[in-house]
Structure 1
Amino acid sequence: MTLDADFVHALADFDACRYASLSVRLPRLIRCGHVLTGDGGEAENYRLLAKSYLLATRMLVKMDEQQLGWMAADRARQLAEAGGDILAVTESARQLAVLARKAGWHDEALSIALSAADHPDLRDAGRAGAAERGLLIQSAAYTVARRGDRDGMRELTDEAAGIAKELGGGTLLRDHGGGFSPLTVQMHRISAENYAGDPLAALAAARSISLKALPNVERRSRALSDIAVTYDRLGRRSDCIRTLLAAEHCAPQETHVRPATKALISSLLVSGSTTMELRGLAARSGVIV
C-alpha cells in the first residue's frame, strides 16, 4: 500500500473518530514516511509526511498534549517547506497558533495566524489558498475571543465568512481542520461566542446549522460538544446532559477521551443532582469524582 493510500485511511479514521485504529495506523504511517524521505526522496513524500504530522498535531491538540503538539507541528512545517507545499506550511502555522493560544500566549497566537494568512504565496494558491486563509483568520478570531474581545472576534469571523461565501457552498480542504465552508465558519461561531462571553449568541449560531450537513463525524461531535458547553453556561443542565449523550452516540471515542469533554462531565457530577444517564456517561468516559 502506498503512503498516499495510508494517509487517506488515517484521515478517514480521524474524521470518523476511530481513534483506536488511528493510534495504530498513524505512527506506522509516519515511520514509513521517514523511510521514504530518509535519503532525500521525492517532494511528494515530504508533502505527505508533513500532512501526516499535521494530522498527528490535530490529535495531540485534541488530547491536550501540548509539548508533543509543538514538536509535531514544527516537524510538519519543516517537511512542508522541504516539499514546497505552501498549504501545509501555512496549516502548520495555524496549528502552532492553536498551541500558542492554548498555552495562553494570545498575542503570539494572533501574530502567527495573521502573518500566515498574509503569506504572499498563499494568495497565489487559488481557491485552496483562499480557504486556508479563511481558516487562519478563523483561528485568529478564536484567539481574540479567548481575550474577551467580542467585537474583534465577530469582525474576524465575518471576514472568514465572507471568504467562504465567495468560494461557494462546498467544503474545501477537508484534511485541514475538517474543512472550510460557510457551514464550518458558522460552527466555529458557537465556541467563539462562548469564549467571548455570549452563550445566547452561541446558541443562535448552533440553531442556524444542520449537524447532518457538517463534513464528517468528528465535526458533528465537536459541534455537539460546543452546544453542550453553551447549555452549561446558560444553566440548562438537562439540555447539556442530553447533548453530551447525543455527542457520545455520534462519536463514542471522541466523547470518552477528549479532556475538555471529560472536564465538563466532571463538573456536572459535582454541581447538581445526578441522573442514571449522567452517571453512566461518566463511567464510560472514565470520569471519577
Structure 2
Amino acid sequence: MKPGELIRETRQAKGMTLAELGKRTGYSAAQVSRYERGISPMTDIDVLRRFADALELPPQAVGLAPPARRPEVRHGQRIGATGAFPRLPAPRLGGSGGEDGEDPVRRRKLLAGLAATAASAAGTPLLGNGAAQADEALLGELLVTRLRDAMLGLGPAPMIPSAEKLPADFAHALADFDACRYASLAVRLPRLIRAGHALTAADDDSAQYSLLAETYLLATRMLVKLDEQQLGWMAADRARQLAEAAQDPLVVAESARQLAVLARKAGWRSEALSIALSAADHPDLRRAGRPGAALRGLLVQSASYTLARGGDRDGMRELADEAAAIAEELGGGTLLRHYGGFSPLTVGLHRISAENHAGDPLAALAAARSISLKALPSVERRSRALGDIAVTYDRLGRRADCVRTLLAAERLAPQETHARPATKSLISGLLVSGPTSMELRGLAARSGVLA
C-alpha cells in the first residue's frame, strides 16, 4: 500500500477530517488531500515522519526506519537523511567550437560587436568607434556568458554604486525583462549581480540581501528562458539562501518556485511537485497576506504544469482550477507583477501550455481564445502567450497559423523571438516538416536557424 493510501485509511479509521490532520501536521486540508491521493509525492522523510507521528503510526509503516538519533537542526530547519540526488544535465557552456558549421572566429567577432551594441542600449559608455549592428540570434549566448562571468566573479572588479541607487537599477533591469530587451539586460543584470555582491560584502544589511536575492531570481527567469539549467539552478539556489538570510518569505517562496521549474525541466517531476506544493503550504507564506496568497497560487500553478508534463490531465486541471480559485478570491487584479503577475488572466495563459503538454491542443486553443493578449501585464507575458499559441497551432497541423503567430511574436518582441531556444526549435521543426514560405525562411534567417 502506498503511503498516501495508508494515511487516508488511518485518518478515516480514526474519524479525523482532512483539516484536523492538516492542523496536526502543519499542512492545509488541500495539501493533505493531495498527499493522500498521490498528487504530491510522499518521498520526503520529514513529511513521512510528520504524518506517522500525527496518526501514531510506527515509522516502518510508512517505509521509515526507527530514528537512530535526533534530527539535526540548522537555521531552524530539521535536516534528515536524503537519498542520492539526480545529477544535473551535462553543461552547455564553454564550448569553443561552432554550431551548425558556423565559423568560430566569426562567432567571436559577432559577440564582440553585440556586446558593444548591448552596452550602448543600456547607456553604458564603451571605448571604441560606436556600436556594431546587433546579431539578435546571439543575444542569448551573450546573456549567458555575461551572467556566468558575473556569478563566478570573473572579469574586472565592478564600480560599487551607492546602496540608494541599486533599487532603481534593479527596476530598470526588471523593465528590460518585461519588455524583452535582451541587449540592455545583458549589461544591466550582470552588473547588478556584481554590485550586489560588493555591497553585501561591505554592509551586512538584510535589505541588500533581499535585493540581491531578487536580482538572482530575475537571472534565474532569464536562464530558464534560455534553457541554461546548470546556471539557472545555481542562481535559484543563491536566491533562496539570500532570501533566507534576509528572512523574506515571499522571495524564499519564489526561489522555491524557480527551483521547482528547474527540477521539472531536468525530468525530476516528483521533486518538482514536492518543492512547489510544500512551499505553497508553508506557514510563513500563509501569513504573508495577499502577496503570499498570490505566490501560493503561482506555486500551485507550477505544480499543475508539472503534472501536465507527466501526462496527468485530470491532476493538472484540478490544480489549475485551484490556482484560478485563489486568483478569483484575490479580486481579479494582477498581483506580483515582478514575478510575471498572478491573476485570472495569467492563470488562463498558463492553461494554454499546460493543456498542450497534457496532450489536448484543442483545449489549449480554447484557453487561448479566452484571454485578451492586450490585457496581459507585460510584453514578456504577451510574447509567451503568442509562443504557446504557435505551439498549439503546430500540434494541430495548422502550419500557416503557426507561422503567422510566430511573426506576430517577432513584431512584438524581436529579441526574444530570435534568441529563445524553444522558439528556434519550433522554427527549425517547421523548416524540415513541410513546405516553407518566404516569411518562414526569413524568420529562420533572422533567428539564426539554418534550413
Which category of TM-score, normalised to the shorter sequence, fits these structures?
A: over 0.9
1:98-154 alpha-carbon deviations (Å, 9 max, x no partner)? 000000110110000001001100000000000000000000000000000000000
Alignment of 1:32-71 (within 5 A): 32-71=195-234
- Counterpart residue identity of residue 193, structure 1: E
Q: Which residue of 1 aligns with 2:338?
A: 175
Q: Which residue of 2 aligns with 1:74?
A: 237
Aligned-partner Cα distance in 2 for 1:167–1:23? 35
Q: Tell me which of 327, 349, 364 is aligned to 1:187.
A: 349
Q: 2:192 aligned with 1:29, yes or no?
A: yes
Q: 2:410 aligned with 1:248, yes or no?
A: yes
1:18-44 alpha-carbon deviations (Å, 9 max, x no partner)? 011001000111111111110442111
- Counterpart residue identity of residue 383, structure 2: S
TM superposition score normalised by structure 2:
0.63
Q: 2:378 aligned with 1:216, yes or no?
A: yes
1:68-91 alpha-carbon deviations (Å, 9 max, x no partner)? 000000000000011111000010
Q: Which residue of 2 aligns with 1:134?
A: 297
Q: Tell me which of 169, 178, 183 is aligned to 1:6.
A: 169
Aligned-partner Cα distance in 2 for 1:14–1:51? 13
- Counterpart residue identity of residue 200, structure 2: T
Q: Tell me which of 133, 152, 160 is aligned to 2:315.
A: 152
Aligned-partner Cα distance in 1 for 2:270–2:170? 34
Q: 2:272 aligned with 1:119, yes or no?
A: no
Q: 2:387 aligned with 1:225, yes or no?
A: yes
Larger Rg: 2
- Counterpart residue identity of residue 373, structure 2: L
Aligned-partner Cα distance in 1 for 2:299–2:380? 20
1:174-217 alpha-carbon deviations (Å, 9 max, x no partner)? 111x1100000000000000000000000000000000000000
Aligned-partner Cα distance in 1 for 2:205–2:168? 16
Aligned-partner Cα distance in 1 for 2:166–2:247? 18
Aligned-partner Cα distance in 2 for 1:51–1:19? 18
1:264-284 alpha-carbon deviations (Å, 9 max, x no partner)? 000000011100000000000
Q: 2:358 aligned with 1:196, yes or no?
A: yes
Give 4+ residue runs of structure 1 displaced > 3 Å after superposition: none
Q: Which residue of 2 aligns with 1:97?
A: 260
Aligned-partner Cα distance in 1 for 2:223–2:417? 15
> What CA RMSD, in Å, does the superposition of the two structures yield over aligned residues?
0.7
Q: Which runs of 5+ in 1 are unaligned?
A: none
Aligned-partner Cα distance in 1 for 2:312–2:224? 23
Higher mean displacement: 118-127 or 167-176: 167-176
Aligned-partner Cα distance in 2 for 1:201–1:180? 21
Q: Which residue of 2 aligns with 1:207?
A: 369
1:49-81 alpha-carbon deviations (Å, 9 max, x no partner)? 000000000000000000000000000000001
Q: Which runs of 5+ in 2 are unaligned?
A: 1-163
Q: Which residue of 1 aligns with 2:130?
A: none
Aligned-partner Cα distance in 1 for 2:412–2:213? 29
- Counterpart residue identity of residue 283, structure 1: A
- Secondary structure of 1:175's partner? helix
TM superposition score normalised by structure 1:
0.99
